[in-house]
Chain A
């Protein structure tokens, strides 16, 4: 048994060391950087203590980005949960072609983000895009709209595109939870006279809740960290209307050349996210018991 403990360590060590070197160590570097005044990568900096933190916490940019990140996460959570839940329930039914549907629903997720961006940029564009004519034909719009022109339509469009990319993945994870609910529970409920809606409320929802809890945590972290879709579509604009925290960090570091400030925002973001992850998993553990 003693030898098997050493073996167990040997089996986890490569993964741990790898993550330590690629994620852990850079985080330490980021903390160091946040206490200095480095502007460009490679240039020397001097120790400034918590100056960066004080400056960022007292300015509006960080708080605006935090607010937008929260809006981003919540909006994505709502849209993705609804789409994914409906999709998962459909995929859990039996109908001709369900196996094909189960496989190919994930199509939106396996395509490079840049391609997703181009697809939707074209579809939403005023020249040749399909969305404007479609909405005009349906009588929702009177004339073509520039979806990325105003802050809130830009944000809404971004949420839609990101949700479109991610909801199938979430739906499959939900489907995994759904398939674990035994069929005879539904049959028993039917014998008890429950209709489809009651069966959903009294069986599907409560039994799926633990899975949904885990997915809520994972989904929050996933969407919080989304950067490429936003950057490629709006670069945080218009008028900073989609400048979430990851966008702010990138801008500060690579456009504003204020590396230490970017590191400072990074460190604070990490602390927030980790606190969230710890609290959320604790809460989940508790409801599990």
Chain B
């Protein structure tokens, strides 16, 4: 559809606003991470770096176990993604494509889990993990993150499954495919964009989680990136250069991941149905 000139101007202005709103903070962080300390805290901030130094990055990788945090975070986020998908796909398939008694009640109770303030289960879960010896171990974080990502993941798969025409499933039944074969050979390939979207959702949930990681993990070597990062914030003397370098390093992996499969996430969210 063609737009009038004034609408185009409005569109351009809004676009510029949102680009600045989202882009500028990131630009300042990334460009700030290579500025000299005096430029970072100067009274008149600079848009483009006037100085260059790798000193913040050197300090970051010498003073902290940043690579270790990074690996821990990747382990937790990847495992969370896999476990979430393994649990969510069959459950969503059963909820939205099969009929069985109490389906509605069970589905609703899963949605109610979404209404949980996560902080509520922190205390009892700590006790539970203490009992089974999971405190200060990465699996405890994976379990927690899956629990938080799972209800929304199942809900997200709904529109994808609903978009698969019933006839395709019936054709597969006539072709002699069992329910599990239909799930594996027909449904999973057809809802692949949805699976990608759910995978990214679970990954990001785990990647950004801070509270549980800070309570359940005690030793420095098991910390995830958010907790390790908060460790370098420091209470009294704030070393902004170090923080900006740390922030940049924490942003890069997700950005890289997103550059690879991000389009799937967005089109997955927005398109839903199988065309």
Q: Do chains A and B touch in the complex (CB under 8 A)?
A: yes
Instruction: Give the interface of A toward B (CB within 8 A).
Output: 4-5, 7-9, 11-12, 14-16, 18-19, 22-27, 29-30, 33, 41-42, 86-87, 90, 93-95, 99, 101-115, 118-120, 122-123, 127-130, 133, 164, 168, 172-173, 175-176, 179, 183, 186-187, 190, 196, 218, 221, 224-225, 227-228, 231-232, 245-246, 249-250, 253-254, 259, 262-263, 266-267, 269-270, 273-274, 276-278, 281
Q: In the docked arrangement, what's the CA distance between A225 and B98, Å?
A: 33
Cβ of B143 and Cβ of A22 under 8 Å apart? yes
Kindly list 7 other residue pairs between chains A and B, CB separation below 8 angstroms, not including A14-B91, A22-B143, A250-B122: A42-B130, A102-B266, A110-B204, A112-B208, A114-B250, A118-B244, A225-B116
Closest residue of chain B to A176, judged by CB? B270
Cβ of B128 and Cβ of A25 under 8 Å apart? yes
B residues near A266, Cβ cutoff 8 Å: 117, 119-120, 123
Give the 7 A-B CB pairs with smallest separation, nearest first.
Answer: A26-B124, A29-B124, A22-B147, A128-B41, A15-B91, A11-B94, A8-B100
Q: In the docked arrangement, what's the CA distance between A88 and B86, Å?
A: 31
In the assembled complex, B18 has its CB within 8 A of some CB on chain A: yes
Cβ of A12 and Cβ of B147 under 8 Å apart? no
Partner of B1, one of A109, A168, A187: A187
Closest residue of chain A to B17, judged by CB? A86
Partner of B120, one of A26, A228, A259: A26
Instruction: Give the interface of B toward A (CB within 8 A).
Output: 1, 3-4, 7, 11, 14-15, 18, 21-22, 24-26, 28-29, 32, 40-45, 86-88, 90-91, 93-95, 98-101, 103, 106, 108, 110-128, 130, 143-144, 146-147, 150-151, 154, 159, 179-180, 200, 204, 207-208, 210-211, 215, 225-227, 229-230, 233, 240, 243-244, 246-247, 250-251, 254-255, 258, 262-263, 265-266, 269-272
Cβ of B119 and Cβ of A114 under 8 Å apart? no
Cβ of B240 and Cβ of A122 under 8 Å apart? yes
Q: In the docked arrangement, what's the CA distance between A287 and B144, Å?
A: 35
Partner of B229, one of A112, A172, A224, A267: A112
Given A12-B106, A123-B28, A227-B127 contact (CB < 8 Å): no
Q: In the docked arrangement, what's the CA distance between A60 and B51, Å?
A: 52
Cβ of B210 and Cβ of A111 under 8 Å apart? no
Closest residue of chain A to B108, judged by CB? A281
Output the least CB separation between B44 and chain A (Å): 6
